[in-house]
């Protein structure tokens, strides 16, 4: 009996730690999401905790705010806390960075609409991360493609390309490679879309007067579509060649993940809880009815 109690101690300790982590994980996720909202989308673009809230930089605002909201949604599982984090961070950014007067017609109204649209799209994108490592990889690829921050976004892309190997097995090599290709194509498509939006937004300037906001939106869409139609091949080639080094980093990370899974498999099996460690063993009988 004493030996059984000693053998159960590591399992009981591990169960207690797991229970404590499950209780504290939501709070840790909320804090981490709040701390990452600004660096994810706006690091290096403006002063600390400030956002470039200017009509001329509306493309930067919507792309980076979408990436930031996606990270929040990926980290926070519960819908209301994730909404609260995005709304609170956006409100703080507005309070610290919003212009006192409009430098363009209806500038502040447009910026509010851009922040709202970015929050909604980012939350919808990031919520998919709860489906597993491949879904997390997709969210990371979108974040790397959208954010206009100056941190090395290629690192996020490298992690995204390596994550499918976290669940790879010898009998599922083809699905893993297809998942990696899908992540890469998703990043490339979203990156081209972001480049097209920036190209379209560049035609706007504060003194332009086309009669209405709908007319300005039409000009942006037409310029963005023209960019995609005429320059997508050149832009895609530049994106791929500019990230070759990060592709090698992704390959190295994939090898580390696969080797780590193989090496740690015996450890996981040894520490995995078993029925015999937590439940009394069944009495062996002959199977005949008891008298």
Residue 94 lies in a domain: yes
Residue 159 lies in a domain: yes
What would the pLDDT profile of 209-226 be if each residue is shown by its tens digit? 656 777 778 888 899 999
Q: What is the pLDDT of residue 266?
A: 63
Residues 147 and 266 in one domain: yes
- Does 291 score more than 50 pLDDT? no
Residue 247 lies in a domain: yes
Total domains in the chain come to 2
Residues 108 and 145 in one domain: no
| Residue that finishes a domain, picked among 131, 156, 186 | 131
Residues 107 and 145 in one domain: no
Domain range for 92 is: 23-131
Residues 136 and 261 in one domain: yes
Residues 63 and 151 in one domain: no
Residue 242 lies in a domain: yes
Residue 17 lies in a domain: no
Residues 179 and 255 in one domain: yes
Residues 144 and 267 in one domain: yes
Average pLDDT, the chain: 84
Residue 142 lies in a domain: yes
Measured CA to CA, the distance from residue 240 to residue 244 in angstroms comes to 6
Residue 118 lies in a domain: yes
Mean pLDDT across 233-248: 95
Residues 245 and 148 in one domain: yes
Distances (CA, A) of 1 to 4, 5, 8, 86: 5, 6, 11, 54
Residues 262 and 173 in one domain: yes
What would the pLDDT profile of 84-97 be if each residue is shown by its tens digit? 999 999 999 999 99
Mean pLDDT across 47-61: 90
Residues 185 and 260 in one domain: yes
Residues 116 and 136 in one domain: no
| Residue that finishes a domain, picked among 111, 131, 151 | 131
Residues 248 and 151 in one domain: yes
Predicted TM-score (pTM) of the model is: 0.84
């Amino acid at each position: 009996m004493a030996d059984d109690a000693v053998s159960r101690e590591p399992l009981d300790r591990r169960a207690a730690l797991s229970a404590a982590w499950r209780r504290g994980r939501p709070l840790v996720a909320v804090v981490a999401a709040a701390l990452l909202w600004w660096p994810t989308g706006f690091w290096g673009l403006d002063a600390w905790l400030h956002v470039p809230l200017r009509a001329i930089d509306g493309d930067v605002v919507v792309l980076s705010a979408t990436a930031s909201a996606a990270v929040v949604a990926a980290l926070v599982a519960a819908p209301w806390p994730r909404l609260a984090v995005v709304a609170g961070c956006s409100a703080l950014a507005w309070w610290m960075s919003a212009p006192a007067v409009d430098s363009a017609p209806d500038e502040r109204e447009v910026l509010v609409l851009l922040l709202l649209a970015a929050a909604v799209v980012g939350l919808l994108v990031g919520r998919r991360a709860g489906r597993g490592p491949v879904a997390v990889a997709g969210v990371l690829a979108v974040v790397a493609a959208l954010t206009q921050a100056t941190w090395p976004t290629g690192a996020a892309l490298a992690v995204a390309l390596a994550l499918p190997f976290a669940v790879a097995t010898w009998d599922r090599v083809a699905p893993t490679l297809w998942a990696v290709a899908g992540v890469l194509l998703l990043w490339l498509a979203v990156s081209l879309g972001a480049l097209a939006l920036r190209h379209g937004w560049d035609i706007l300037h504060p003194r332009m007067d086309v009669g209405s906001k709908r007319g300005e939106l039409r000009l942006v869409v037409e310029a963005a579509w023209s960019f995609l139609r005429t320059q997508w091949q050149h832009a895609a080639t530049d994106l791929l060649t500019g990230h070759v080094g990060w592709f090698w980093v992704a390959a190295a990370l994939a090898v580390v993940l696969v080797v780590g899974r193989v090496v740690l498999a015996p450890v996981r099996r040894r520490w995995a809880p078993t029925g015999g460690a937590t439940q009394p063993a069944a009495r062996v009988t002959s199977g005949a009815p008891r008298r």
